[in-house]
Structure 1
Amino acid sequence: MKYIYLDHAATTPMHPDVIEEMTVVMNSIFGNPSSIHGVGREAHHKLETVRQVIADSLQVKPHEIIFTSGGTEGDNTAIIETTEMMKDQGKHIITTAVEHPAVLQPLHYLENKGYEVTYLPVDESGRVRLEDLSVALREDTILVSIIYGNSETGQLMPIKEIGELLKEHPAVFHTDAVQAFGSERIAPEEMGIDLLSASAHKINGPKGVGFLYKRDGLKFQPLLRGGEQEEKRRAGTENIPGIAGMGKAVELLTDEEKENHKIRNKGFEDIILNKLSEAGIDYQVNGDRENKLSHILNIWFKGVSSDLLLMHLDLNGAAVSIGSACTAGTVDPSHVLEAIYGKGHPAVKESLRISFGYGNTIEEIERFADLLIKTAQRLKN
């Protein structure tokens, strides 16, 4: 029986059209886009075509898009290089307790270099409070980094409201939009976003490629130094096949397609939750169902070890997760669920993340729900 993949928040399978586009590019465009001869110009043209595609998807200028190796590089560049450029104005940074490790780790690095970081708490849904941010803002605050949509619970943050709040403050506003870019309509200029990170492998594109949006006029130094690629903002010969694949993935994500995904994902979620309720499973959805990314469903199975549940589901042909893929395989509890419920709360070790995506069908969602019920009943304490 076909394996059921429900861990699309960790990574997604490449769309066939993306594979086809990358294959064509690998077979025909091999030049260095920095070369001035015809072969190089052909590669450069492909590079700039994709830059325009991504810029159009965000309603920004093409030269505001910097190609990177993925979300981690984008987050690290935005955080480390922004604070380096603005250190004479202050050394205070604001973030949340539920950020992805690609944001938290560079912030820990900066703390060791003398920066002060305020980690905002979240409410019972996992959402940051605007009043907490307002109170935390200081004259020496130089950077605010708030995730767009949480990678574990899918909780959406009040990004537009945060941008409005920061409009009269000199702090730079960065958002990690890795999970949200393929799902939400994002307009950085309209929302007051200065820096935005995204990754291709979360939207049915290839791994190892992403982009960083940088608002015009923002002071900036490259994290990677060497050549003068990306207008001297990111050294290293660009990954043309990967960038082409990312461009095709973005082209496929029209506004209509995003809405179709939301409707489909809502249907999948309803199937699972209705079946759990009908079977009498003692569960609770982590976060606010009405204000989250549609492809992520995080459930607390009361009295059931998430480690055991994950293992038994895997052995029976279904892939889910107990947290961010970047922290999977560790014994550390979910920092996101700890921020919501508190350390030592049973939900921290009794929750699963189920995430939908390309290729999932109603039939396999129903089959998965039945397997989930059977497994949870058997493992109940």
Structure 2
Amino acid sequence: MTVRPLGIDPRPPASADLTQRFLSIRHRTAELAARLRPEDTVIQSMPDASPTKWHLAHTTWFFEQFILSRDPGYRSPNPDWHFLFNSYYQSVGPMHARPRRGLLTRPALDEVRDYRCRVDEAIAALIARGDDASLPALIELGVQHEQQHQELLLTDIKHAFAQNPLEPAFAPDAPRSLSMAAPALAFVPFDEGIVEIGHSGDGFAFDNEGPRHRTYRQAGSLANRPVTNAEFLAFVTDGGYRQPALWLADGWALVQAEQWQRPLYWDEALETEFTLQGRHAIDPHAPVCHISYFEADAFARWAGARLPTEVEWETMAAPLPVRGNLQDSGAFKPRASSFESSLGQMYGDVWEWTMSPYVSYPGFRTLAGALGEYNGKFMNGQWILRGGSCATPADHVRATYRNFFPPHARWQFSGIRLGNDR
């Protein structure tokens, strides 16, 4: 089996198609940011989050650093910004400390937007030249990276707005869906046996999605839908956050230290939640969201179940089309859904925690050079999530996509799908 480092189809797209894809993704990021006022784009509400202005600049820096810098004739319009907008690529030089990104009042937002325009023009010109066979793969990596930051822009500004007593809405005009009853919770069985997981090599994939390989899957079952707000509320009211026997040791220590009593963004009365549409009544039928791995694991124990493995999740999701409440719907929040297949909402709404640690697949190799820092060096102390969320672009997610976060993280659109041993 041939494994291509970036998982790119060897048939390059026409330059016009490549330019259109590049510019459309870049435009989408600017479109999301255009909903904000300049003051909104500077704030950093916690060390794990980044300001919108930084996202706009960093994604531009990525194209400049890993594509334009290969051209001997290219000159950066702002070489002093290299230090400011490098994220974690130690191989290419030092960087501004992540927790201090919110202190970067300069450069101004208009300067960052001008920087984006200049780099966009340079990339478009490079594509038009058509003299670099490796360019399509690098451009695709860059736009996929930008789509990851589109989701981060949404999760980060949601956290920032939630700290404001005025609770401003990012998308007050988002379409409101009527609440519908969630289908009854049921478990879909699967057999034991040797299965294949990982990216096949056709189309784009990040390096951590391969190589495709065979592995063993125990017999078990997967819930037909994510856990709902109503189901998680039952866990809360039953004292789930006060029962140490339900929790992993580090999770219980965190619950005590942070005084967690409910999901992030729920109010103390357990009646409303803060969303990108503003504060609204909690929809009992919608998937519960902003749950850490620790909370997901504790809920599963309370429910007499467990979290699925990523092998179970991927093999069950692989036959299904990528369709659901993703960023493209414009809702920007999880919502209840009916579905025709035995498994619903596998894509969109909420990223679903698995019980699988983020480690490499057999035969995994990091990319050559600085891009080798993209995914591989984070394979330590993190857990896999699958399926995408209401903030994920629809053409960005696939069955093999491996998202990962540390177990305490809950500002992402993360939720729960239960698994069982049968």
TM-score, with length taken from structure 2: 0.24
Q: Which has the higher helix share?
A: 1
